[in-house]
Each structure stands twice: as C-alpha cells, then as structure tokens.
Homo-oligomer: A and B are copies of this chain.
Amino acid sequence: MILQRQTKQKQIVLQALTELNHPTATAVFNRVHSEHPTVSRATVFRVLKQADQNGSILRLSFARGEDRFDYNPTPHYHVRCNICGCVSDVKMPYLTDLEQAVEDACGYRVYSHDVEFKGVCPDCQAGEKA
C-alpha cells in the first residue's frame, strides 16, 4: 500500500461528508467551499475517490444522477426517493448468500453486490396528500 499523507484538505473534505446526507461530490464541494474557499474542486473529487478506493467510505452510483458518497464504509443498502431525490440507508441484513446463488447460476466468481431501492420517502408521502 502506497503511503497516504494526512492533509488538512482531506480532513476538511471527509468531515464535511459526515455532516451531509449521502451527498454528491459537488454538494461536498459546496459545503467545503463555503468555509474553506481555497480548497479546490479537484481536491474534493480526488479525496473522495481515494477514500473510496481505500475502502474508508462508499461511493454510490444511482440510476440517473451523479454519484453519492456515504461515510459509512460497511456494505449496506440504500433507498432513493423518486420525488425529492434524497437517499436513506436501509437497515436490513446484507444478503451475502445471494452471491453464492449467482455464482451457481451464471458461472461468474462474485465478490460484491449492491441494491438500490426506489420509492417515495415519508416526507414526500406526506406532501402528496396535501
């Protein structure tokens, strides 16, 4: 593993990530930029990318839209609201046995999987009634 230096910018970016709810890279940049205008956009993208490759955060790729990030690197599932676009964690056990089933079904060696649920969040459900 290559040396990775601990820098102020990294701390700032990863701290901002913990303060936001499954943000996009741009959302992280906006947050960072408001308090630390000298931190560049490229740095935000680079730090998030490196942290994902480290396994210290998660990068979520949803249909129709830019990637989002989760400071919790433990594999878990997500739901996204079709209306407001917000994303929430799903508190449900991770179905590791699915991967074995896929290996048997199609001959791939399977290392991971992701599930994206789509629906309407509680807030938007309330809004629909009004």
A interface list, Cβ under 8 A from B: 59, 61-64, 67, 77, 79, 81-82, 88-92, 98-99, 101-103, 105-122, 125
Q: Which residue of B lies closest to A120 (CB)?
A: B109
CA distance A50 to B81 in the complex (A): 22
Residues from chain B with a CB closer than 8 A to the CB of A103 are 119
> Contact check: which of B59, B105, B106 meets A63 at CB < 8 Å?
B59
Shortest Cβ gap from A59 to chain B (Å)? 7
- Known contacts: A91-B106, A111-B118, A119-B110. The answer to whether A61 contacts B64 by CB under 8 A is yes
17 cross-chain CB contacts under 8 A: A61-B62, A61-B63, A81-B108, A88-B106, A90-B102, A92-B98, A92-B101, A92-B102, A98-B115, A98-B117, A99-B119, A107-B122, A110-B119, A111-B120, A113-B116, A114-B115, A114-B118
Q: In the complex, which of the residues A64, A102, A111, A112 has the most CB atoms of chain B within 10 Å of its own CB atom?
A: A102
Copies in the complex: 2
Residues from chain B with a CB closer than 8 A to the CB of A91 are 105-106
Please tell me if the beta carbons of A108 and B101 are within 8 angstroms of each other in the complex.
no
Residues from chain B with a CB closer than 8 A to the CB of A98 are 92, 115, 117
CA distance A114 to B92 in the complex (A): 15
